[in-house]
Chain A
C-alpha cells in the first residue's frame, strides 16, 4: 500500500458514523480504554483472557460507528501482525502435550498451538481499541484533549499535530520524487539498483521535509507559537458523563476478561 493511502486510512477522520456514542466520546476516554485493556492483556498470555476481551470488544462495536467494511480496511495491519505471530508460535513455540502435526523438525503440539492462538488473540484484542480510537478520532480533537485534559505541554502536542498535517504534503512529495526518478532514467536495473534509488529518494524526502518543517515553524512562531506558556484553547475539551461510562466499560472489559482467565485456570502473570 502506498504512503499517501496509508496515512489517511490509519489516521484520517473516521469514515464511519461519527454520531455513534463511542465515536463521539472524548478522545482521552477512548485512549483510556485502550490503555486499560492493553495493560490487562500485557499481564498474561492466555487464550481465555484475550479471547474474552476480544469478544467483549466485538460486542461493543455496534456503538463505535464502524461498519464491518471500514473496520476490515483499517484492521489489516493488526491482522497482518496477529496471524503470522500466532502461526510462528504454533510452529516454533515450546512444545508440550500431544503432537498434532509433524513435518521433520517442525512440530505443532497442543501446547504450542494453544500459545499461538493466545498470541494471535492478544494482538487482536490490544489492537482493536486502538483502531477504533484512530478511526473515529480527528487528530485535532485528540490534540485538544491531550493538551486540556491530560495537560500535556501545548508546545509538544501542537508541534506533533502540525507535523502530522505535513505528512499529507510529504506523501505528494514522495509521488513527485518517484516520477522524477523515472524521468531521470533510474529504477530499471534489478533489485539492488532499485534499492539504491529508494535510499536516495528517502534522503531527498528528508531534505524536503526539513525545509518544509522550517517554513512551517516560522509561520507558527510568527503567529505567537512558543513565545509564552500561557495559551487558550478555541475548542474546549471536557470529560462528560458518557466518557466516564466509556472508561468504566473499558475497566469492566479488563476485569471480566481477567476473571474468566483466572476461573479457567489459564491466567498466569508474566514475569513470574
Chain B
C-alpha cells in the first residue's frame, strides 16, 4: 500500500552537534508520489530519510533531539516502524549509498531473507518471497552465491531486493548510485523505475546528479541546512527557478553543470619529458590467483594526463597501485625515467624508500580517510615535506600555502576525520601535492563529490598539468575524462581494450598498434 507522509515543524539535532540538522520542515507527500529531495551537502537530506524510516530515536537512550511531528500514514515515524514490524509488513524501505556497508549476511539469499525474518514472516513464506524479490531486480546469481564475490552494482541491486522483499509502501533512496560505475548506475535506475511502476509505492529520493532521475520524479523539494523546505514544485519549475542557486550549492543541475576552464593551447599535441613507463605490466592482488590486470603498456609524460577508464573490476585501481610504486608488478616492468627517478636508488619505484617515493610520486586514494595520518589539517600537509628532509619552518610554510590555495585555511587546526566529504577530498589531494611530486596518480578523485568540489578539483588538476606535472587518473566519471584527458586507456576484464582511443596517437600504445 502506497504510504502518505506529513511533516509539521519537524526538526532533528544530533546529540553530538549543537546545530540542528534540519528545522521547521513542513511537507506533505501523497501516496504514490515520487519526490526528489535536493539541497547542498550537509543540508540534512539523509537525516530526513532516516527520520521517515523511523530510525531516529529521541528517547532517553536516543541519538538526538526531535521537535515537531513527522508522520507516516498518520503515525509518528518511529511508531509506524515498530507497528509495521509487528504486523509483518514494512511501511518503509531504505537504500543507502555505500554498497560495501549495507550487505548484512554472507550468502545472497540469506541477505534478502534477513528483513523478512525480522518481520517474523513465517519461514515457509520467506523463500518464495526471496526468490521473487531477487528475480524482480534482475539478480543473476542464485541464493547460495557469496556476497563477498559481488561487484558494487550487484551489491546495490541485492540490497534493493532485500528492501523490496518487505513490500514497502514508501521507498527511501539515499544516493543509491553515487558509488556505482555508469553501467551499474543505469541498471539500478531501470530497476527502481520498474519497481515503482509495478508497486505504485511512494518514493523519496536523495541524489546529487539530477539529470538521469529527473524524468522519474513528479516533484522536487529543496531543503536548506538547519532550515526547512525552501522550494517545492514540479521539476521544471524548481530547477528553472532555483537551478543556479542549487548548482552553487553543489547539486548537479541540468543546464548549470560545472564548466571546466578551457586549457590554454588546448590539448597538448606533443609531450614533455617522459616520466615513467609501464611495459607489459600485470598486477596481482593478494589472495587472488589471476592477475587483476595484465599487458599494460603506458608512458607518462610531464604535463599530460592519462585517464584510465573501464567498468568495475577491470583492474584500474590495481594498475594505479603499480604505477605509483605501491605494489610490485607480477609481470613486466614499471620504470621511472631519469626525469622522475634521478637520485633514487633504483629505476623501479617499488624499490624506493617511502621518503624517496613521496617526493617523486603523489598518490590520491579513492577513500580520502585512508591517507590521513595526522591530528590537524596543517600537520597533515607538513608530514610529506618533513619526511623528505625539509626544515620544519619551511614545511609549515608549504602547508599554509596549500591550505590557502585549496580553501581550507579556516580548517588548519581541525582534525582531518571531522571534515565534510568534499573538504576531505581536497585535503587528500593537497597531501599528495605538498612534496611537489612530478607525477600524480589519482584513483576515482571525483567519486561521490558534489558539483562544487568537482569544479575545484578540475581547476587544480589543470593548473598542475600546466606546471608540468604528469597525471594518471583512474575514473568512471565521463565529465572528468572530457575535462582532463590527453590520453585515454580503456581496460576491460583486466586488459587494455582494443577499442582504446588515444586522443593523440602517441601514447598509450594499444596492443593492436604494437602488433601492427
Residues of A with Cβ closer than 8 Å to B?
A: 2, 4-5, 138-140, 161-162, 165, 168-169, 173, 175-177, 179-188, 197, 200, 204, 207-208, 212, 215-216, 218-228, 230-236
Contacts and interface: CB of A to CB of B under 8 A. Distances in A.
B492 interface: no
Contacts of B127: 234
Contact of B369 (A208, A220, A228): A208
B96 interface: yes
B118 A223 contact: yes
Interface in B73-117: 81-82, 84-86, 90, 92-94, 96, 98, 100-107, 110, 113-117
B103 to A, nearest CB: 7
Interface of B: 50, 53, 55, 81-82, 84-86, 90, 92-94, 96, 98, 100-107, 110, 113-123, 126-127, 130, 147-148, 159, 162-163, 166, 286-287, 321, 324, 326-327, 353-355, 357-359, 361-363, 365, 367, 369-373, 383-384, 387-388, 417, 431-432, 435
Contacts of B101: 169, 212, 215-216, 219
A140 B106 contact: yes
Contact of A227 (B118, B355, B361): B118
Nearest to B386: A185
A212 B369 contact: no
A233 B105 contact: no
A86 to B, nearest CB: 33
Contact of B373 (A186, A218, A222, A223): A186
A219 B358 contact: no
B91 to A, nearest CB: 10
Contacts of B365: 176, 179-180, 183
B108 to A, nearest CB: 12
Please give me the 9 A-B residue pairs with the lowest Cβ-Cβ distance, nearest first: A185-B358, A223-B115, A224-B118, A185-B387, A219-B102, A215-B101, A222-B94, A183-B363, A227-B85
A231 B117 contact: yes
A5 B107 contact: no
A232 B287 contact: no
B373 A200 contact: yes
Nearest to B92: A222
A175 B321 CA distance: 12
Given A185-B358, A215-B96, A219-B104, A228 B86 contact: yes
A186 B55 CA distance: 41
Given A140-B106, A165-B105, A215-B96, A180 B123 contact: no
Contact of B114 (A5, A177, A207, A223): A223
Interface SS majority for chain B: helix
Given A182-B326, A182-B357, A175 B119 contact: no
Contacts of B117: 231-234
A234 B126 contact: yes
Given A179-B321, A212-B100, A232-B120, A223 B370 contact: no
Interface SS majority for chain A: helix
A216 B102 contact: yes
Nearest to A201: B373
27 contacts: A4-B286, A168-B148, A176-B367, A180-B363, A180-B370, A181-B373, A182-B354, A183-B326, A183-B362, A184-B387, A185-B387, A186-B354, A187-B354, A200-B373, A204-B369, A207-B417, A218-B94, A222-B53, A222-B55, A224-B81, A224-B115, A225-B118, A232-B116, A232-B122, A233-B123, A234-B110, A235-B110
A204 B354 contact: no
Given A183-B326, A222-B92, 14 more contacts: A4-B287, A138-B106, A140-B110, A179-B326, A179-B327, A183-B354, A185-B354, A185-B387, A197-B373, A218-B94, A223-B115, A227-B81, A227-B82, A232-B123
Given A204-B372, A224-B166, A230 B105 contact: no
Given A218-B50, A218-B55, A228-B86, A161 B105 contact: yes
A234 to B, nearest CB: 4
A135 to B, nearest CB: 16
Contacts of A176: 365, 367, 370
B100 A185 contact: no
Contacts of A168: 148
A161 B359 CA distance: 44
Most buried by A among B85, B116, B357, B363: B85
Nearest to A213: B101
Contacts of A200: 373
A162 B103 CA distance: 9
A61 B115 CA distance: 39
Most buried by B among A2, A182, A228: A182
B104 A169 contact: no
Nearest to A13: B106
Contact of A228 (B82, B126, B327): B82
